[in-house]
Structure 1
Amino acid sequence: MTMTILIAGATGDLGGRIINALLERGANVRALVRPGTDAAKVAKLEQRGVTIVRADLSDVPGLTQACTGVSCVVSALQGLGDVIIDGQSTLLDAALAAGVPRFIPSDFSSDYTQLPVGYNRNFDLRRSFNQHLDTKAGIAATSILNGAFAELLTYSIPFLDFKKKQIGYWESADWRVDFTTMDNTAAYTAAVALDVSSPRILRIASFQISANELAPIAEDVMHQSFEVVRLGSRDELAAYNQRERTAHPEGEQDVYPNWQRSQYIHSMFSVQNNPLDNDRYPDITWTSVRELLATRR
C-alpha cells in the first residue's frame, strides 16, 4: 500500500528536496503550508501532484486534519523556539491525535547529543524539543543527524576560504568533519519516512574530511593553491562564541546571527558521526567532496 507522508516546511529548500525524493519513491505527499504562502510556490507543488494543506502551526484542528491518514510526519521547519519547540510540539500533538505512527523532527545537524548544553543555541532548541518528543507514547521518532550541509563548502567559509586561499581548522588538521549534501539528506530522509523499522537516531555523511585531506583535493579541482592554517583551539573558539553572544544579545531574535554561525563551526570540529548509517539504504549514491567542489568551478 502506498504511504502518505506529510511534510512541514515544504516550501523551504530542504523540504522541497525531501518532497522530490518522496515522489521519486512513489509516495503520496501532503505539503503543510501556512496560509498566505507564496502562491507560485504552492502552484509548483500542486503541479507535481502534491496535496496542499493550509494550516498555521498554532491551528490544532487544522493540523490534526492535515495529519489524518498519514504514515509519517516529516518536519523540515526552521526557526527559533516558537517554531522548533512550540510549533513542532503542536504539530506533534496533532500527529498523536490523528494516530500518526511516526515522526521525523527537524534535527538535520551535527550530533548535538554529544555536545554539552550551551555550546550551540539552535542545537539546544532541538534538544529541548526531542526531550519533549521522547515523553510521548504512541508515536515512534527518528532523528537524522547529517553533520553540516556540504554546500557550505562552496560558500567560502573558514574551513575552505576561496578569498584567502586557505583551509582553516581548529584544534587538529587531521580532525574529520561530517558533511552531507542537501540532496543526499533529502534522499535519506525520504527512505526513512517510508521505513517503518527505522531507529531513534540515524547518522549519515556524504563524506568526512579533514583540513589535511581537503587541501590537495581543493587544489586539484579548483586549480589554485590553498594553505592549511590553524585558527585556534576548540576552547578558544567556544570562548570567542560566548563573548560574541554576550556582546550581541539582539542575535537571540535571529535564526543565524554571526555568533550562531560560529557556534556551528565549533560543533563541526567537536563531534563526529560515528558509526555512520549510510549503508541502511543501498540505493542512495553519496556525493564526494570532489564532485561537490566541481560544481563551483
Structure 2
Amino acid sequence: MSSPRSTSAPATVVVAGATGDLGFRIAKHLLQRGATVRALLRPGSSSKPEAIALRQLGATLTEVNFDSIISLTAACAGADCVVSALSGLREVIVGMQTRLVKAAVAAGVPRFIPSDYSIDYTKLPDGSNRNLDLRREFNQRLDQQPIQATSVLNGMFMDLLTGQAPLVLFGLKRILYWGDADQPLDFTTVEDTAAFTAAAALDSATPRYLRVAGEVASIRGLQAAASAATGESFGLMRAGGLGFLATMIKVTRTLVPARDEVFPPWQGMQYMHNMFTGLPKLEPLDNDQYPEIRWTPIREVLAKREQK
C-alpha cells in the first residue's frame, strides 16, 4: 500500500551525483513528476554533455564546492529533500556524504536519501564487502543527524547481467554460479531504481528503508529467462561452492588489489558472494509502494541485449 503523499506545491529536490547514470535518471524522473530539481555540480562541470542535457530537461544547475559545508548549505537552501547518487570510495561515500547531510540539516532540509542502491548491507557482517561497509559506516553517521532518512535498497542492477556481471554467459549458453542454484536473488534495473527513488523523494512519509526488486530469481530462474529471451537453451555451470569463491576473492584481491578503483574485479566477486549466501536478501519488498511503477523483468533486459 502506498504511503500518504504531500499535496502541497511541487517539491524542490537537490540531487548530488546527477551527471552519473543513476543520478541523471533520478533527476529525469523527478522532473517528469513535476518536481523542481537542483543538480549539484563540481565547479566547471556545467559544460559537460550530461549537465547540458539536465538543463535541457529543466533542471537547475548549481556549481558547488563539495569540500565546503558552507557552500553545500547554500546549495541546499529551500529544498524538501536531498538525494545522493554519489559514487566513490571513503572520501565520497563517507566524507562527502557526511558534509552533504550536515549541510542539509543546516539548511533545514527535512529529508535525505543516501547513495545506497544495493543489496541489504544491514544484514551483512563487517568486512564482507568493502563498498557496502562504507555505506554502513555512513548510515551510522546519518542516523545521528536530526533529519528523516530513507535508504533505497534494490539488490543488483539487472543491467549488469548483459555484460559486467559474468553470470549469463551468452557465448557459452551457460549460467555461471557458485553455491546453490535455487538461492533467490534480487535484481532491479537502473531505470526502475531511479523511478522508485524519485517517487520516494517526493513522498514525505517514507520509512527508514525501502526494499525493491524488479524480479526475484534464482540461478535456475536466470536460466529460464535467458533461454526465453534468446530462443536458445541455456545450461548451468557451477564453478564451485561459496568457500571456493571466497578463496578466489582473496587471491584476486592479493594479485590485483586496485585499491583506488571503485569496482575492481574482486569487489564484484564480493557482491556475488554476498548474494549467493542469501544473507542480504531483500524482505519484505516494497514494490507496491508506488503502484504506477512497472517493474522490468529479467527476460526483457536480456532480450534487448540480443536485439542490439
Q: Residue 228 of structure 2 contacts residue 299 of structure 2 at CA under 8 Å; is this kept in 1?
A: no
Normalised to the residue count of structure 2, the TM-score between the two structures is 0.92
Deviation at 1:148, TM superposition (A): 0.4
- Corresponding position of 1:221: 229
Q: Match for 1:233 among 216, 238, 241? A: 241
State the distance in 2 between where 1:146 and 1:278 align: 10
Q: Residue 4 of structure 1 contacts residue 27 of structure 1 at CA under 8 Å; is this kept in 2?
A: yes
Deviation at 1:266, TM superposition (A): 1.2
Q: Match for 2:259 among 252, 263, 273? A: 252
- Corresponding position of 1:34: 42
- RMSD (CA atoms): 1.3
AA aligned opposite 1:54:
E
- Corresponding position of 2:128: 119
Q: Match for 2:84 among 51, 67, 75? A: 75
In structure 2, relative to structure 1, the CA distance for the partners of 1:82 and 1:278 (3 Å cut) is: same
Q: Match for 1:150 among 133, 138, 158? A: 158
Deviation digits for residues 178-204 of structure 1 (CA, Å, limit 9, x no counterpart): 000011100100011011110001110
Q: Match for 1:266 among 263, 273, 283? A: 273
Deviation at 1:253, TM superposition (A): 1.2
Map 1:1-297; keep pairs closer than 5 Å.
Answer: 1-37=9-45, 39=47, 40-136=49-145, 138-155=146-163, 157-249=165-257, 251-270=258-277, 271-297=280-306
State the distance in 2 between where 1:259 and 1:235 align: 15
Normalised to the residue count of structure 1, the TM-score between the two structures is 0.96
State the distance in 1 between where 2:273 and 2:249 align: 9
State the distance in 2 between where 1:8 and 1:156 align: 25
Q: Residue 165 of structure 2 contacts residue 268 of structure 2 at CA under 8 Å; is this kept in 1?
A: no
Deviation at 1:110, TM superposition (A): 0.7
**Percent of aligned pairs with the same residue?**
51
Deviation at 1:240, TM superposition (A): 2.3
State the distance in 2 between where 1:75 and 1:6 align: 8
Q: Residue 154 of structure 2 contacts residue 186 of structure 2 at CA under 8 Å; is this kept in 1?
A: yes
User: How many residue pairs are counted as aligned between the two chains?
Assistant: 295
Deviation at 1:13, TM superposition (A): 0.3
Deviation at 1:65, TM superposition (A): 0.7
Deviation at 1:121, TM superposition (A): 0.5
Deviation digits for residues 46-71 of structure 1 (CA, Å, limit 9, x no counterpart): 12221111012102221101100000
Deviation at 1:156, TM superposition (A): 6.1
Q: Residue 119 of structure 1 contacts residue 238 of structure 1 at CA under 8 Å; is this kept in 2?
A: no
- After TM superposition, what 4+ stretches of structure 1 lie above 4 angstroms from structure 2? none
Deviation at 1:24, TM superposition (A): 1.1
